[in-house]
């Protein structure tokens, strides 16, 4: 290996760590935010003992899970059982490679970033379905089937909504999509699509009120029932990383990414990555708020919402936006 190749390899490793480490810290404190916000909504304290204001609670929980014994069911397919949570976690990290945090702050700036996110995130189904099957448990398998059907169902409407955004921006590049919202964020003309995308994001990430794969009263803990210690941690990290990813996608597609809404020069003094992080935090707060406020859907209601309401409505919006832009001679 030549010296230049070694330098390039070191550079890639450092850039990867600069992306992954802050993301893992954000996941840790997202769990604290969730417990604090839900505690406030339920009029209780939430974590407040470990560290100042409970700030070290996520690390204490992580340490506890990492030192627990990893239990492998005797009837499980051991190789696939171990590989499934690793696959889920790696896929949740790989999707972040194309997310732009600023105008020149992106790991890989490719021209098909929107397709990359759709393609990589859809692979998450494999980690979940293999974990349920390899556990050789009826509760895990039922939870995995529910999750696979749910994710595939809502990926259809998510894909059509993203098509509407792509038609408006005229590009598959995520940075170009953000730049196309320089004058107006897409949440204003496409507000119904924003609402559908947010609700579909709840279903795609298995969050309440669509947490049917993990319905405790029916399926114990769904596809992760047989997992403990590090295996459970990887599923947990994958789910919360996907939550942050979905919030980032909403920010890019509908909230102008790293751009402030106003053109006032004072607002541009704030770093672009801070704007992007602030928007992600607001969307994550909505995720938590919905969990605290709404009861769980029945499974038939979940499927009805996806196939009989969101799918035709998103198709109708796609035809409407295409026809409008063609009529105005604006479609690229």
The reported pLDDT for the residue numbered 135 is 87
Residues 6+ apart with CB under 8 A from 225: 135, 137, 139, 140, 143, 219
Strand partners of residue 102: 105
Predicted model pTM: 0.91
What is the SS3 assignment for 105?
strand
Rg (CA), the chain: 21
Cα separation, 176 vs 183, whole angstroms: 13
Contact assessment for residue 206 and residue 150, using Cβ atoms and an 8 Å cutoff? yes
Tens digit of each residue's pLDDT, the chain (332 residues) = 677 788 888 888 888 888 888 898 999 999 999 999 999 898 888 888 888 888 888 889 888 888 888 888 888 888 999 999 999 999 999 999 899 988 888 888 888 889 999 999 888 889 888 988 998 888 888 888 888 888 889 999 999 999 999 999 988 999 999 999 888 899 999 999 999 999 999 998 888 888 877 766 665 677 888 888 888 888 888 889 999 999 999 999 999 888 887 665 566 677 888 889 999 999 999 999 999 888 888 888 989 999 999 999 999 999 999 888 888 876 55
The reported pLDDT for the residue numbered 232 is 87
Residues 6+ apart with CB under 8 A from 267: 260
| Structure letter (DSSP) for residue 137 | -
Strand partners of residue 105: 102
The reported pLDDT for the residue numbered 304 is 93
Instruction: Work out the widest C-alpha separation in the chain, in whole angstroms.
Output: 65
């Amino acid at each position: 290996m030549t010296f230049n190749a070694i330098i390039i390899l070191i550079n890639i490793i450092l850039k990867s760590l600069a992306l992954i480490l802050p993301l893992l810290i954000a996941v840790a404190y997202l769990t604290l935010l969730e417990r604090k916000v839900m505690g406030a909504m339920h009029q209780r304290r939430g974590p407040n003992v470990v560290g100042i204001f409970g700030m070290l609670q996520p690390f204490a929980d992580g340490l506890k899970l990492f030192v627990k014994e990893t239990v492998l069911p005797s009837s499980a397919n051991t190789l696939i059982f171990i590989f499934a949570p690793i696959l889920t976690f790696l896929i949740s990290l790989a999707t972040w490679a194309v997310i732009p945090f600023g105008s020149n702050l992106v790991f890989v700036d490719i021209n098909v970033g929107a397709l990359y996110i759709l393609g990589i995130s859809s692979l998450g189904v494999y980690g979940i379905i293999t974990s349920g099957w390899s556990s050789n448990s009826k509760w895990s398998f039922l939870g995995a089937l529910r999750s696979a059907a749910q994710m595939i169902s809502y990926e259809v409407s998510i894909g059509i909504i993203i098509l509407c955004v792509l038609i408006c921006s005229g590009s598959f590049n995520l940075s170009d999509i953000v730049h196309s919202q320089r004058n107006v964020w897409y949440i204003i003309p496409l507000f119904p699509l924003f609402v559908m995308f947010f609700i579909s994001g709840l279903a795609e990430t298995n969050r309440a009120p669509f947490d049917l794969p993990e319905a405790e009263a029916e399926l114990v803990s769904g596809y992760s029932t047989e997992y403990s210690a590090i295996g459970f941690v990887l599923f947990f990290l994958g789910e919360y990383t996907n939550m942050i990813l979905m919030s980032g996608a909403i920010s890019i597609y509908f909230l102008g990414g790293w751009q402030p809404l106003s053109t006032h020069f004072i607002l541009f003094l704030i770093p672009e990555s801070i704007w992007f992080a602030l928007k992600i935090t607001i969307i994550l707060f909505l995720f938590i708020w919905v969990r605290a406020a709404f009861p769980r859907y029945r499974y038939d209601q979940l499927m009805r919402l996806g196939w009989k309401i969101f799918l035709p409505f998103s198709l109708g919006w796609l035809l409407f936006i295409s026809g409008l832009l063609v009529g105005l001679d604006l479609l690229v």
